């Protein structure tokens, strides 16, 4: 197992290098980041020259990337175009995004797996069709529509008692772009509704994956043998079938974790959340290449580590899978 983990960690190096270079090249190809920094007037030539020299924009692309990579190896994500440390910007926003992602993962995992199990053991019956139709409806609705409806229903139409359960559904104040770095951290109560909206799309996929996997495993030979030995339905499903059926679900959750840790830019914009997704959106609008690249580097690391954990969990769920 140790050799497998070490090999996977080494494989991450070229992935990170390739990702950072592509993002770096694309971001700095968006245009001159000094445009609009002086309002409607054109920035003085001296200011533009000093700005480009400070951020190495006056050098060839490969030289810029090499200098940035040298900082990255030392754990320094650089300084954004507002004079703030990108690491400090991200550290100020990670707690909010982690809470948001945690709520979304718990919601999609519990609801999706439960719905999939119920549909799988009731295949071809009313409950099965209900899960299939409802999941298809959720998949068909864009997330910004779900978020807008949630704000309208729970923030305006519902009685005060219910509204208090999802307080501040219209977002959090306290955004500050310039130095010093500040970001209002969202409380659990503020993030319940955004977390449910963020996880709603994945719930539908997890329910369908769980249903299909469970229904297939229920037809396997080892399940028929367990039933022939007189084991009850709850033991057959809960002990013998559920673990094997969870493998594709765990794979999807691991893949989805990268999106959730990014705060799903659209969701954070809808609810005005000061997380990583909102920071990334504002950085792209401002053509702040250092912030965009630094943020995506962190998200790529989270995604790669999540997939490594998922691969390790395969052996726990199914002992037949070996990493030797």
User: What are the backbone dihedrals phi and psi of residue 98, each rounded to the nearest 5 degrees, phi first?
Assistant: -65, -40
- Cα angle 177, 183, 187; round to 5: 150
Element of type H or E holding 241: none
Structure tokens at 244: 């094997």
Q: How far is CA 94 from CA 4, 104, 180, 267, in A?
A: 29, 15, 17, 15
Which residue reads 């009685």 in tokens?
Answer: 159
The string of DSSP codes covering 162-219 is HHHHTTTTT----B--SSSP-BPPPPHHHHHHHHHHHHHHHHHHHHHHHHHHHHHHTT
Q: Please give the Cα distance from 154 to 160 (Å, whole number).
A: 9
Smallest CA-to-CA distance from 292 within 281, 301, 304, 300 is with 281
Smallest CA-to-CA distance from 213 within 308, 318, 313, 305 is with 318
Range from 13-17, 29-33, 54-58, 85-89 carrying the lowest mean pLDDT: 29-33
Q: Please give the Cα distance from 93 to 265 (Å, whole number).
A: 13
- The pLDDT, as a whole number, for residue 178 is 44
| 183 strand-pairing partners | 175
Cβ atoms within 10 Å of 237's Cβ, excluding its own: 20
pLDDT by residue (tens digit) across 143-181? 778 887 877 776 666 656 555 555 555 555 444 444 444
User: What are the backbone dihedrals phi and psi of residue 220, each rounded to the nearest 5 degrees, phi first?
Assistant: -75, 160
Q: Please give the Cα distance from 255 to 277 (Å, whole number).
A: 17
Where is pLDDT greater, at 79 or 258? 79
The listed CATH number (3.10.50.40, 1.10.3720.10, 2.60.40.730, 3.90.1150.10) that belongs to domain 86-317: 1.10.3720.10
Smallest CA-to-CA distance from 203 within 252, 237, 236, 165 is with 252
Give exposure, 42-68, as e/b (b: 16+ Cβ within 10 Å). Answer: ebeeeebeebeeebbbeeeeeebbeeb
pLDDT by residue (tens digit) across 62-98? 888 888 888 888 888 888 877 788 888 888 888 888 8
Domain boundary assignment for the chain: 16-73, 86-317
Share of the chain above pLDDT 70, in %: 83
pLDDT by residue (tens digit) across 97-147? 888 888 888 998 899 999 988 888 888 888 888 888 988 888 888 877 888
Share of the chain above pLDDT 90, in %: 1
Residue 259, C-beta contacts closer than 8 angstroms, at least 6 positions apart? none
Residue 68, C-beta contacts closer than 8 angstroms, at least 6 positions apart? 20, 24, 56, 78, 290, 293
Average predicted confidence (pLDDT) for the chain: 78
Q: Please give the Cα distance from 147 to 198 (Å, whole number).
A: 8
Structure tokens at 155: 């923030």
């Amino acid at each position: 197992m140790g050799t497998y983990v070490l090999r996977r960690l080494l494989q991450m190096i070229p992935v990170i290098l390739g990702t950072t270079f592509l993002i770096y090249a694309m971001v700095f190809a968006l245009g001159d980041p000094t445009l609009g920094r002086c309002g409607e007037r054109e920035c003085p030539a001296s200011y533009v020259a000093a700005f480009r020299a400070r951020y190495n924009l006056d050098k060839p692309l490969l030289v810029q990337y090499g200098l940035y990579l040298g900082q990255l190896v030392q754990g320094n994500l650089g300084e954004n175009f507002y004079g703030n440390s990108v690491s400090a910007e991200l550290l100020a926003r990670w707690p909010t995004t982690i809470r948001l992602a945690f709520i979304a993962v718990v919601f999609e995992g519990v609801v999706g797996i439960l719905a999939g199990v119920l549909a799988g053991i009731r295949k071809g019956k009313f409950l099965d069709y209900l899960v299939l139709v409802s999941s298809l409806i959720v998949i068909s609705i864009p997330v910004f529509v779900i978020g807008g409806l949630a704000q309208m229903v729970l923030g305006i139409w519902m009685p005060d008692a219910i509204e208090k359960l999802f307080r501040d559904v219209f977002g959090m104040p306290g955004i500050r772009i310039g130095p010093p770095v500040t970001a209002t951290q969202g409380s659990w109560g503020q993030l319940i509704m955004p977390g449910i909206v963020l996880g709603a799309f994945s719930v539908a996929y997890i329910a369908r994956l769980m249903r299909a996997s469970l229904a297939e495993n229920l037809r396997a030979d080892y399940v028929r043998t367990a039933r022939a030995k007189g084991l009850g339905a709850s033991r057959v499903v809960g002990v013998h079938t559920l673990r094997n059926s969870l493998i594709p679900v765990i794979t999807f959750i691991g893949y989805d974790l990268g999106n959730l840790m990014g705060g799903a830019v659209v969701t954070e914009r809808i609810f005005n959340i000061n997380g990583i997704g909102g920071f990334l959106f504002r950085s792209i609008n401002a053509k702040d290449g250092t912030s965009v690249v630094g943020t995506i580097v962190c998200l790529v690391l989270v995604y790669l580590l999540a997939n490594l954990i998922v691969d390790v969990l395969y052996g726990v769920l199914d002992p037949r899978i070996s990493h030797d």
